[in-house]
Amino acid sequence: MDNAARTTIVGPESLSICLSIRREVFIVGQDVPEDLEVDGLDPECTHFLCTREGRPVGTARLRDVQGAGKVERVAVLASERGRGLGRQLMLALHAEAMRRRLPKLKLNAQAAVVGFYEDLGYESVGERFMEAGIEHQAMVARPPFQV
């Protein structure tokens, strides 16, 4: 774990910071169309922001979907990957999911990062599919979530 990094839940006043990370990672880095990335659902989500040495470096959001939690927009700046920050973000999100007693967490993983989520306790369900031109795999985790 990187001691200089911390992840917190942030309010609407910090959404633009989360969006700037998502823009760099998904729109610039992965050519995801802007209208897919900024989907209008942010106001109903809980947003997580990871800072390292005070600088915003990663984000994720948690959305309630029919009583379960959906993990979306997990992103760490390319220059900051491989230091455990993505894992730290997910563990913070899991702590919130435990606090809310969510019965299930779902996500659509990019095929390239299925292993990242498997390490965090997620299992693949169903066939792979295409979304925003990228191959994805639906995955689920059940409590207790790793914290």
Ligand X SMILES: CC(C)(COP(=O)(O)OP(=O)(O)OC[C@H]1O[C@@H](n2cnc3c(N)ncnc32)[C@H](O)[C@@H]1OP(=O)(O)O)[C@@H](O)C(=O)NCCC(=O)NCCS
Per rule CB under 6 A, is residue 93 in the interface with ligand X? Answer: no
Q: Which residue's C-beta sits nearest to ligand X? A: 86
Closest CA to 107 of 92, 88, 94: 94
Residue for token digits 């606090």?
99
Per rule CB under 6 A, is residue 65 in the interface with ligand X? Answer: no
- DSSP bridge partners of 79: none
* Both structure tokens of 84: 């455990």
Tell the smallest beta-carbon distance from residue 61 to ligand X (Å): 11
Per rule CB under 6 A, is residue 79 in the interface with ligand X? Answer: no
Q: Judged by CB under 6 A, which stretch of 6-14, 40-48, 74-82, 97-105 contacts ligand X?
A: 74-82
Instruction: Please count the CA atoms within 13 angstroms of the CA of 105 that sit on its side-chain side.
Output: 27
Whole-angstrom distance, CA of residue 82 vs CA of residue 107: 21
31 alpha-carbon distance from chain centroid: 18
Residues within window 116-135 making contact with ligand X, judged by CB under 6 A: 116, 119
Q: Judged by CB under 6 A, which stretch of 12-20, 37-45, 69-77, 97-105 contacts ligand X?
A: 69-77
Applying CB under 6 A, the residues found at the interface with ligand X are: 25, 74-76, 81-87, 109-110, 112-113, 115-116, 119
